[in-house]
Structure 1
Amino acid sequence: MVIAGLVLAAIAGLIHIYIFYLESIVWTGDRARAIFGLSSREEADATKELAFNQGFYNLFLAITIAVGIAAFALGSQTVGATLVFVGAGSMVAAGLVLLISTPAKASAALKQLVPPLLGVAALATGLSL
């Protein structure tokens, strides 16, 4: 279960790296605008600074998980698990905020929160056995 939890957390990290890319690198492009429901280039330009900053939050959460997985693999299980729980738990919390505050974005919220939630559950189960 520990390995499953770490793999699911890694998948969550990869999803958040992709979100970072969309928000901080290509925010005004056609694909990012379509994914985030921005109707025009002007709307994307007006929110570019906010998206840029938010993208880095996503990147930092992914980095936290990656460092946690590396620490776990190198034998520092307590430090590694703690970092994975913090990174993935923050992703779950952010996804819940999105789900509650903007129910119309439920699909995006679930994509953001389900993989890290499953990772946290599997890791916690594996560590308790």
Structure 2
Amino acid sequence: MTMIGLIFAGLAALLHVYIFYMESVAWTSERVRATFGTTETEAAATRELAFNQGFYNLFLAIVTGVGIVEYLSGHTSVGAALVFAGAGSMLAAALVLFLSSRGKRGAAVKQGALPLLGVVILMIGLLG
């Protein structure tokens, strides 16, 4: 069961690397603007904020990835703690988005589903 939780956490980390790319690298591109529902002017005005936010997503992905590697290397306590910190933060951010922006609830569910599954399944695996 823990392996399934780690797989979902890893998928969440990969998703957050992609979000990093969109926010920090491709923010003003037509495709990313369409994804986030921003105009060219809005994207230009928020570029610095998005750049910074993208790195938060990258760092959460890195913490989760390091946790998975540590867990699989036999450092199960440290690894699990890092996975819970990284994926749990992803989940918390999705919850904040869900509660604070009615129009972005679909995005929040997409952003939060994988870390939720990772955290819950990993917890069940560790307790079982």
Q: Deviations over 1:101-129 (max 9, x none)?
A: 00111110001111101100000000111
What's the counterpart of residue 120 of structure 1? 119
1:21 aligns with 2:21: yes
Q: Give the gaps of 5 or more residues in structure 2.
A: none
Q: Give the gaps of 5 or more residues in structure 1.
A: none
For these two proteins, the number of residue pairs brought into alignment is 128
Q: CA deviation at 1:57?
A: 0.2
1:43 aligns with 2:28: no
Equivalence map 1:78-89=2 (5 Å): 78-89=77-88
What's the counterpart of residue 101 of structure 1? 100
For 2:12 and 2:3, locate their aligned partners in 1 and report how far apart those are by CA, in whole Å.
14
Runs of 4+ residues deviating >6 angstroms: none
TM-score normalised to structure 2 length = 0.99
What's the counterpart of residue 3 of structure 2? 3
Amino acid at match of 1:94: A
TM-score normalised to structure 1 length = 0.98
For 1:79 and 1:31, locate their aligned partners in 2 and report how far apart those are by CA, in whole Å.
39
Q: Identity over the aligned pairs, expressed in percent?
A: 57
For 2:41 and 2:124, locate their aligned partners in 1 and report how far apart those are by CA, in whole Å.
47
For 1:66 and 1:7, locate their aligned partners in 2 and report how far apart those are by CA, in whole Å.
10
What's the counterpart of residue 53 of structure 2? 54
Task: Give the alignment's Cα RMSD to 1 decimal.
Answer: 0.5
For 2:44 and 2:21, locate their aligned partners in 1 and report how far apart those are by CA, in whole Å.
16
